[in-house]
Amino acid sequence: MEQHFDVSRIVGIEIMPLRESHYKWLPTKQKTFLWGIFKLNRWHPEGFYSYGNYTECYESGCFDAHQYTAEELRKHNYIVEEITNTVYEKPRVVIFLEHGYKIHSTFDSDSEASEWVSNMRIVSGKEFEINHMRTSRLKT
């Protein structure tokens, strides 16, 4: 989805580079109860789990975590390296506008995000300091 905004209203830009996500690949595992003493005839399916846990615990108790496939994660803007089963968050650029508004855009690579920010500098006519693809700030 293309976003339209007044580039003269930009007050800052932040670049978040490609980084490893919290999703971890886990193999199929038999379900147990009472601290693993008793095994059930049910299984946790293989897949990507949040923080590498088969369960999620809340104040109300612990429940089976949802496992994700590589395709599901790709649909949610993640990059999945299937050889190593590593999941990465796509590079993201946050544009800060006047009055506290923010606009987010994701990219397939750090260089694509950097190029987009460079083009934004040209289009806006504003100079931004770029610090090793981490954060950009408007020069004052």
Q: What is the pLDDT of residues 49-102, one digit of tens each?
A: 988 788 777 777 777 788 899 999 999 989 999 899 999 999 998 888 888 888
Task: Tell me which residue has tokens 């690579």.
Answer: 109
Q: What is the pLDDT of residues 6-50, one digit of tens each?
A: 777 777 788 889 999 999 998 877 776 666 676 767 768 888 998
Phi, then psi, of 45 in degrees rounded to 5: -70, 155
Tokens of 140: 């004052």
Task: State pTM to two decimals.
Answer: 0.72
Q: Please state, in angstroms and as integers, the Cα–Cα distance from residue 31 to each residue in 21, 50, 128, following that order.
A: 26, 18, 53
Partnered with residue 49 across adjacent β-strands are 24
